[in-house]
Structure 1
């Protein structure tokens, strides 16, 4: 799972638009329990909450699950679960335009995802501010107030029935990323603060119009490269995905930079190497999907190169293997002469086809899992169509959820892969015979609080029982994430030694 996700060790402040997924909350909950190791009354309370979470999950009551997880996170952090804390965790903010053109008046809503038990005898007061973090400042430092958006009385006590709507004039706000913070008070008593990230971008609607006009004339895959920020913005505004899944300033600028080549009917990627963000249309989802690819600087179509498909952990994106882990993976791809490609996997918690948790029988989750797996395989196809890939040397790797997905996808498509790299994951021992012909490099820390090391131990034992070529590194004292980057070079060494795809029966 993503390092940033695992750093969340207390109940989060109420935040919004597309809130953190139930699966991610469950992983954080397990990690907190394994780290805090509650005893006595605290353990009894957490066990009771676990029973209630399981009951709510069977009924698909996700808002109740969120309340219970917030309760558990608070007490595991040794903080009191007060009526005010419960009220605060019920709050959520939403808007129809999370990326705002300041030429238009902007609005947002403060809502609740469940009914808290707090007794409120009068209407509430809301204080709203626009805030921004200073460049380079640590997350612990308070954000500066850029603009007072107003104080409002008569706010309804039940925000599920009657959400509070706030309108703001942003014409004097410079382009950038901001947070709208709305504090709710019962007289002088602060009940909670809900925050909403927004991006202000001048000329947004004109940019959308230019990109859509150019895309209408462009062939695939350039059409998808042009439309990606437009399509992603639509899904953010529809509350389908979180704003953090793309960077509006970067992605609109990148799409605009392709306009000259696209209008001239030229391939904008011809001859480009290095770190690139590309896109394609996932037809089953009717969405444009991003993936990140590293092409070694010496690449030429005359010489096929080996390819690694890298699957990120829960809560991360296609950028994680490029921007995190010390940026070591793309550096090694350049050094060793590999093309490296990282898909999003449809959603940050897609699971690559694996049912990892969450409400049982949820059709939306089942659809996301299927699309996540499709995304991986279509990125493989897209990279092959754009670059000369050595088909004898195609590798699959992943960390955490990505490691789980690596073993699962390999079991469904064993003939596709030359070798696997698996970091801090688990698999189904029943698939060992299917993937036993694929050489595998496996790493796990024996102190992993998120995905217990037993998952790798069982899988490795099953693989060895069928004669698989497995190199297993179990790191004494290693946790969920610190075992990954230090062993990337060893994984490349393993891949280099396995340069011919084995014959595997599908």
Structure 2
């Protein structure tokens, strides 16, 4: 859990005792429920649900009950009732595990590296990067490294997942290499395998955060494909990597020799030119198989995926739209798979089916006993094998 939240909790626990003369209005307030709390709660229920699914130990009735509970939490989230959302998500996890959630133990103070504040390493890296040419062919790489260095903060924001999810020790080591390579006039991301957060410059100089997972098989002479995954409203670029079926998307992508790229959908989905800039970046860094570029979108991300398929049909081999989407009617449209969830009260399955029927040649499937959020892991497991049967 985030350090800021723990500090706030400690401040409440160790505040001076109230006198009888004080009014309820001056009583300590509960710590604010943050994005870090919501992320932790969702990952708990996602992991529990995936474990039961993998073990085939979940009945249809329990599946339906848990999906309904989690979707109620989603409605609370969209209404701004974050504490209620966390409590409801944890109730769903308890339905799956039979055990109430145990709070994480408190942490002590800010983070440090080698006995010094984390920010000292950040400031050193940024000073070294300040003298690297930012206008030439290294511009995108320099941007990514600079933004990655900014994640080295003493106290991570509980509202920014790129900060509270990162491991400062690993990031410190990775940046040491990236900064050194840039200082030698080379791009540190060319052929780089692994899982890392970064930023690229899209259309009109807009910065697009993304999580990218490059399998070891990409660092060979044979071209590699791309799996673009677009999260739903309220999520971010980390959802498909760390959650949604306990991170099944990068695992399946690696098995199919696909680079998984998860951009922040609410920025990426605003114009297809962000896709153009992303593909140019990937082609500069890897040997990309342009016949194997696939897209999965969930909810808001499904709408963005459908618009992208409509705008760039010749560049996408196939697209999968989970619990959302709109008709894809352009000539030469890529094959499309629409998946609705029977219990979805946020984007009803009937709407997804209607979009599929309006899309020539589309395939529609219905997931029984599932709702809007927990269907994503199942959807990814269904979508990836279907997507890779198609090439452009």
Tell me the TM-score normalised to structure 2 length. Answer: 0.65
Check whether the contact 1:32–1:73 (CA below 8 A) recurs between aligned residues: no
User: How many angstroms apart in 2 are the aligned matches of 1:14 and 1:459?
Assistant: 39
How far residue 292 of structure 1 moved from its aligned partner, in angstroms, is 2.4
The answer for the alignment partner of 1:273 in structure 2 is 193
Question: CA shift at 1:316, angstroms?
Answer: 2.3
In 2, the alpha carbon distance for the partners of 1:328 and 1:17 equals: 22
Indicate which of 312, 315, 318 corresponds to 1:413. 312
Decide whether the 8 Å contact of 1:226 with 1:256 is kept in 2: no
1:302 correspondence with 2:221: yes
Q: Does 1:223 align with 2:122?
A: no
Match of 1:290 in 2: 209
Residues 438 and 469, structure 1, Cα contact 8 Å, conserved in 2: no
**What residue number does 1:175 align with?**
111
Deviation at 1:398, TM superposition (A): 1.1
* 1:461 equivalent in structure 2: 357
Residue 214 of structure 1 aligns with which residue? Answer: 129
Residues 99-248 of structure 1 correspond to what in structure 2 (within 5 A)? 141=103, 144=106, 146=108, 173-175=109-111, 202-205=117-120, 207-217=122-132, 219-230=138-149, 242-247=159-164
**Map 1:277-426 → 2, pairs under 5 A:** 277-282=197-202, 284-285=204-205, 287=207, 289-300=208-219, 302-324=221-243, 325-345=245-265, 349-350=266-267, 352-353=269-270, 374-426=273-325
TM-score when normalising by structure 1: 0.52
Structure-2 change in CA distance of 1:334 and 1:206 (3 Å): closer
| 2:372 maps to which of 451, 474, 480 | 480
Q: State the distance in 1 between where 2:229 and 2:70 align.
A: 29
Paired residues, what number? Answer: 310
Instruction: Name which one, 1 or 2, has greater alpha-carbon Rg.
Output: 1
Residues 335, 244 of structure 1: CA spacing in aligned structure 2 closer, same or farther, 3 A cutoff? Answer: closer
- CA spacing shift, 1:481–1:309, aligned 2, 3 Å: same
**Secondary structure of residue in 2 paired with 1:293:** strand
SS at match of 1:341: strand
2:161 matched to 1:262? no
Uncovered stretches (5+) of structure 1, i.e. residues with no partner: 1-11, 21-30, 37-45, 47-65, 79-137, 147-172, 177-199, 354-369, 502-506
RMSD: 4.2
Kindly state the Cα deviation for residue 421 of structure 1 after the two structures are TM-superposed: 1.0
CA displacement at 1:321 relative to structure 2: 1.4
Deviations 1:53-78 (A, max 9, x none): xxxxxxxxxxxxx9x9468997xx99
**Greater strand percent: which structure?**
1
List, as ranges, runs of 4+ consecutive aligned residues in structure 1 with deviation greater than 4 Å.
15-18, 31-36, 68-74, 230-234, 250-253
Partners of 2:82 and 2:384 in 1: CA distance: 41
